[in-house]
Structure 1
Amino acid sequence: MKRPLLLVTLLLLVTGCSTTPDSASGDSRWRPRPGVAWQWQLTGRVDTSVDVPVYDIDGFDQSKAVVSSLHRKGRKVICYLSTGAWEDWRPDADRFPKSVIGRGNGWEGERWLDIRATDTLEPLMADRLDMCREKGFDAVEPDNMDGYKNRTGFGLTAADQLRYNRLIAEMAHDRGLSVGLKNDLDQIPELVGDFDFAVNEQCAQYAECADMEPFITADKAVFHVEYELPTSRFCAESRRLKLSSMLKKYELGVWREAC
């Protein structure tokens, strides 16, 4: 998601969309502010007509032309990537040595990565981030960034996770991309300064949304989805906390019900 601030502001005035503008900064990196509306679509043909300022779409599956089309509509575009898990269908899957591929993470075709092996993973992730930049994305959503809390097949520690997450954030920033912290709630206090926004799944269902407050306090957006709760169960609290919340289906297609 990347769009000129003036154009976004004009769109909001015309459409009445309830968002807040991007933060001002001394560089060109996009910094979304709390409450900005968004669409998260990782499957199917991207519907570019959803009237929101921010889109989060798959970095591999979507082309530069799709990103450009969204930009022409005044949207910022986030590049979804898995940086903490191996996916067997990705075009670079064969470049990952077996030594860094661990247990399954609960999704078909996905396995945790040994994030301690930065000599191996850093050049692979650099190429993925280069792809996001070359397609014109404004930001990156690095997924599976909390392996240390799961059964990965490796002895990952909290320190390992902090080191790797900060590496990914630094690499994104070096390419002029904003970067979001995906889940990893326990490490938010340590990482809020390294990331430009957060992406969270199901904090309302698990009574964890208050854990996102350091991002809001830092004037950074929290893009939040629920899958199993009706909006009547979480939107009031989301509005109080200034989260960018919506209800989605697990396949993350076009359908959305925003707060």
Structure 2
Amino acid sequence: MGRTRRGAAAAALVLLMAAACAGEDAEADGRSMSPVSRGSADDPAAAPSDHPSSEGEHTPELPPASGAFDYQLGGAYTPSGPIDVVVRDATAEPLKGAYNVCYVNGFQTQPGDAAMWKEHADLLLHDAHGDLVTDPDWDDEYILDPSGSTQRDDILEILAPVITGCAAAGYDAVEIDNLDTFDRFDRIDENGAMALASAYVDLAHESGLAIAQKNAAEITATAHEELGFDFAVAEECGAYDECAAYTGVYGARVLQIEYPDSLEDAGMTFADVCTLPDRAPLTILRDRDLVAQGADGYRYESC
């Protein structure tokens, strides 16, 4: 499935990685964790249900199932109208008054971070010849290899400050991208990938954040029921006829994004998507590069 061009997070991630390697406290700036506990116990869809928080943890609030939604990975901006839910890169500030989801690339490296990650080459996927593997669609992104327990521990040590930093900044939730690398790269052990995903879930919940499954429609039931993901962010499920895989598990707690090129390839229009019986209530059309409002190529529609 095609993926969007993500926000430029290189500078901030380099600083966070350096801090992690030096053993510094990721919360040394004094910002407190944002307690997220506004979910209603009377609404079954608003609670993580099968995965209760540990004693002393806040119950993460899930995104609203109605209202206005925006996906702003290519550049944060203040929308022209009210927004109820927004996804932004981890380097951006949350949008005041909205439910904010923080984007983190949990299974691949971010563009511009190659030099830093190459210092941790043992955490990156190598091919049969010993060469580092890059994403064929994004050749400036290396693939993380969570196959071994030590690898997973070290990956988490590097990326944990990004996730806890989202909480400290005031985000309500986090989405972890590229969960499906084990399916796209056969040298990755699936059990190792699922173990890393579970560790991300635990860390998010410990930080007071809900956590979204990003794509990977084929493992939605496992992701929610066994790993503990709370809701889903689904790209192009209308174009690829996958929406039921998400809404059948997460109900209305799905953030759906479609793109003009994939809809055209599927012989569909966005209006067609809006009539699908299994689409998410919060469904939007965005330009592929997710550029900021006012920039060339910007496009936004909602059902």
* TM-score above 0.5: yes
| Residue deviations 1:73-108 (CA, integer Å, cap 9, x gap) | x21111111000012424993485112223222114
TM-score by length of structure 1 reads: 0.79
Kindly tell me: are residues 139 and 90 of structure 1, through their superposed partners in 2, closer, same or farther at Cα, counting changes over 3 Å?
farther
Please tell me the residue identity of whatever aligns with 1:104.
Answer: T
Kindly indicate whether the alpha-carbon contact (under 8 Å) linking 1:59 and 1:79 is maintained by their aligned counterparts in 2: yes
Partner Cα separation in structure 1 for residue 106 and residue 159 of structure 2: 7
Cα contact 1:231–1:247 (8 A) shared by 2: yes
Q: 1:208 offset after TM fit, Å?
A: 1.3
Q: Give the Cα separation in 1 of the matches to 2:112 and 2:152.
A: 22
* Kept in 1: contact 2:237–2:258 (CA 8 A): yes
Q: Deviations over 1:40-69 (max 9, x none)?
A: 011234224442201100102x1xxx32xx
Map 1:160-239; keep pairs closer than 5 Å.
160-193=192-225, 194-217=228-251, 221-227=253-259, 228=261, 229=263, 230-237=269-276
Between the aligned partners of 2:230 and 2:161, the Cα distance in structure 1 is: 21
- Which one-letter code corresponds to 1:257 in the other structure? E
Task: Structure 1 unaligned segments of length 5 or more: list them.
Answer: 7-19
Equivalent residue, structure 2, for 1:14: none
Give the Cα separation in 1 of the matches to 2:46 and 2:248: 16
- How many residues align? The count is 233
User: What is aligned with 1:77?
Assistant: 100
Q: Between Structure 1 and Structure 2, whose CA radius of gyration is higher? A: 2
Does the C-alpha gap of structure 1 residues 2 and 49 become closer, same or farther in structure 2, counting only changes over 3 Å? farther
Indicate the RMSD between aligned Cα atoms, in angstroms. 3.0
Residues 107-146 of structure 1: per-residue CA shift (max 9 Å, x gap): 1421211022212101112111121112111110111111
Contact 1:162 1:187 in 2 (8 A): no
1:251 aligns with 2:289: yes
Shift in Å, 1:4? 9.3
SS at match of 1:237: coil
| Alpha-carbon distance, 1:3 to partner | 9.0
> C-alpha separation between the residues in 2 aligned to 1:121 and 1:32?
28
1:140 aligns with one of 174, 183, 186: 174
- The TM-score normalised by the length of structure 2 is 0.68
| Identical columns (%) | 23
Unaligned 5+ runs, structure 2: 1-33, 53-57, 126-132, 264-268, 294-298
Q: Which SS does the other structure have where 1:86 is aligned?
A: coil
Q: Is the 8 A contact 1:57 1:80 kept in 2?
A: yes
Contact 1:141 1:181 in 2 (8 A): yes
Residue matched to 2:128: none
